């Protein structure tokens, strides 16, 4: 049985905190966490990212970005990456259409129909480089001075290396179908697009969508070379 998101986060995150539907904390090895999440059916895709600026001692909680509380060491904000659940694919396209065609009846139906497939779950990672050698306790000085010293050192011929930390904020709840989650099944992007096309054309019954997809896959490979049913990228979603 797959581990729950909450259980994984609680076990892996330092300074683990949970409040109003959001999990937060940090890890030193994000790759490892991400791999375990994927293996347990929590797969995320990057929505967008932002470069960080400057040397800081703390960072405010901002929209879906994690808060970094002052822990006495200066850090460089490197990059903030915003992820969404990979099953939230439809959700994003709905929003675009909603703003583009607010009055269209057909599209409104499309929005309603795909809502149950889209998962709103999100995860944000703020990657920072921490310089413990320049902590205010080690420098026995004010923050502003520690910051200046670090800036100077970073521009020197042998800059300090520091170490990485990944601050994380994530929503606890996933609303994507459990059966998909348990199988850790990922649908090939081409099928994603095709499903969207089918639904947009007005087809809403899941049986009919599956029929269209089967035909689409047959056409794609030619009947003799259709991927084996165990190739999960091409297993038809059990809608």
- Give the residues lining the site for Zn ion (CB under 5 A): 85, 87, 119, 121, 174, 176
- Residue number, 118 or 162, with CB nearest to Zn ion: 118
SS3 content of the chain, % helix, strand, coil (to 5): 45, 25, 35
- Residue number, 135 or 184, with CB nearest to Zn ion: 184
Calpha distance 169→122 (Å, rounded): 8
Residue 176 Cβ vs Zn ion, minimum distance, rounded to whole Å? 4
Q: Which two tokens stand for residue 235?
A: 């297993």
- Residue number, 111 or 180, with CB nearest to Zn ion: 180
Calpha distance 67→93 (Å, rounded): 29
Residue 105 Cβ vs Zn ion, minimum distance, rounded to whole Å? 29
- Residue number, 104 or 179, with CB nearest to Zn ion: 179
Note whether 160 and 192 are within 8 A (CB).
no
Q: Tell me whether residue 106 is exposed, middle or buried, using C-beta atoms within 10 angstroms of its C-beta: 0 to 12, 13 to 18, 19 or more.
A: exposed
Residue 18 Cβ vs Zn ion, minimum distance, rounded to whole Å? 18
Calpha distance 148→104 (Å, rounded): 57
Residue with tokens 């709840």: 173
CA angle 144, 149, 154 (to 5 degrees): 125
Residue 44 Cβ vs Zn ion, minimum distance, rounded to whole Å? 8
Calpha distance 5→44 (Å, rounded): 12
Residue 226 Cβ vs Zn ion, minimum distance, rounded to whole Å? 29
- Residue number, 57 or 87, with CB nearest to Zn ion: 87
- Residue number, 44 or 131, with CB nearest to Zn ion: 44
Note whether 195 and 212 are within 8 A (CB).
no
Residue 87 Cβ vs Zn ion, minimum distance, rounded to whole Å? 5
């Amino acid at each position: 049985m797959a581990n729950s998101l909450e259980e994984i986060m609680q076990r892996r995150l330092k300074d683990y905190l949970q409040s109003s539907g959001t999990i937060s904390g940090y890890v030193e090895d994000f790759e490892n966490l991400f791999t375990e999440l994927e293996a347990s059916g929590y797969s995320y895709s990057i929505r967008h990212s932002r470069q960080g600026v400057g040397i800081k001692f703390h960072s405010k909680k901002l929209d879906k970005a994690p808060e970094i509380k002052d822990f006495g060491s200066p850090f460089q904000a490197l990059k903030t990456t915003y992820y969404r659940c990979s099953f939230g694919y439809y959700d994003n396209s709905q929003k675009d259409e909603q703003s583009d065609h607010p009055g269209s009846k057909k599209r409104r139906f499309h929005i309603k129909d795909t809502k149950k497939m889209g998962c709103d779950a999100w995860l944000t990672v703020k990657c920072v480089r921490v310089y413990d050698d320049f902590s205010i306790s080690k420098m026995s000085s004010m923050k502003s001075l520690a910051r200046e010293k670090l800036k100077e050192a970073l521009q020197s011929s042998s800059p300090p290396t520091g170490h990485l930390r990944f601050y994380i904020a994530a929503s606890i709840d996933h609303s994507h179908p459990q059966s998909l989650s348990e199988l850790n099944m990922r649908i090939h992007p081409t099928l994603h697009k095709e499903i969207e096309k089918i639904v947009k054309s007005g087809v809403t019954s899941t049986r009919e969508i599956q029929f269209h997809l089967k035909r689409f896959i047959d056409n794609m490979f030619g009947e003799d070379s259709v991927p084996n049913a165990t190739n999960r990228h091409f297993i038809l979603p059990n809608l």
